[in-house]
Amino acid sequence: METIASILSLREHLGSKASVALVPTMGNLHDGHMALMKLARAHASTVVASIFVNRLQFGPAEDFDRYPRTLTEDCAKLADAGVDIVFTPDESELYPAPQQVFIEPPPISTDLCGAFRPGHFRGVATVVTKLFNIVQPQFAVFGKKDYQQLHVIRALTAQLNLPIEILAGETLRADDGLALSSRNRYLQATDRAEASRLFRVLQGIKAAVAAGAADLAELENNAKIDLDTHVWRAEYVAVRERNSLGFAGAEDAQLVALAAAWIGNTRLIDNVEIDRGAGAV
């Protein structure tokens, strides 16, 4: 595996490659990331993983400084997974001057997580577009765990006519259901024991919809109360139409329940896809 930090050198390495899949990450890799590498490998002969903690997508009071940086361990995992190239630019390589040109993501970016993290998706869209331009992959892989991010990236790829197929990796979970996330390492032991509630409340919504519950607002509200009465501070629980992330009408069958909530000093997100009319879960 080659570890490359410069854009020029990466371009030289990739010049002759026939099919390239990119997996953008911020490092602190876990099994969920490794599943994305595997998906990339199934589609392309050259797999590039990028590791870059992108300041642009963090708010001023967010965890940019304490975001776990574990480059040595990450590179060992990527090498084991058979990744061909890991791109590890530093900030001066990706942002040699203050970034003044941004990708404006679609309006849904100010809803759900975007309502609580102003500018987050603009930062994501901008860095991902830069990575797409640098690597020029045929495929790019993102996890469904960041459902709204995946939606934004699909939209920017389509609307900017980028010749890249976006592949979505399923969320990997711990035995108790907690979605794997780099931020899980912030959890204190008591919070970790409680953390799978987030998935359980979403599963509860899925079961209720399968059993015929039609009042989505009531389900959202009950789930939020469940979290808030168990040490959480819920930002939102929302059931949306899966493809637009807009409000779901009675006729919409493809839904997704999404949530973001704080436990201790850790903000977790999760989601569960729901096929209305699919019967009991």
Using CB under 6 A, list all residues that contact ligand PAF. Answer: 24-26, 54, 57, 124, 127-128, 146, 149
Between 33 and 276, CB nearer to ligand PAF: 33
Smallest gap from residue 93 Cβ to ligand PAF (A): 14
Smallest gap from residue 218 Cβ to ligand PAF (A): 32
Between 137 and 209, CB nearer to ligand PAF: 137
Helix (H, G, I), strand (E, B) or coil at 249: coil
Helix (H, G, I), strand (E, B) or coil at 126: helix
Between 21 and 223, CB nearer to ligand PAF: 21
Smallest gap from residue 123 Cβ to ligand PAF (A): 8
Q: Does residue 30 have an active-site annotation? A: no
Catalytic residue among 33, 43, 120, 230: 33
Smallest gap from residue 47 Cβ to ligand PAF (A): 15
Helix (H, G, I), strand (E, B) or coil at 211: coil
Contacts 24+ apart (CB under 8 A), 258-261: 258/112, 258/147, 258/148, 258/202, 259/198, 259/201, 259/202, 259/223, 259/227, 259/234, 259/235, 260/112, 260/113, 260/116, 260/234, 260/235, 260/236, 261/198, 261/227, 261/232, 261/233, 261/234, 261/235, 261/237
Between 46 and 57, CB nearer to ligand PAF: 57
Catalytic residues, by residue number, are 33
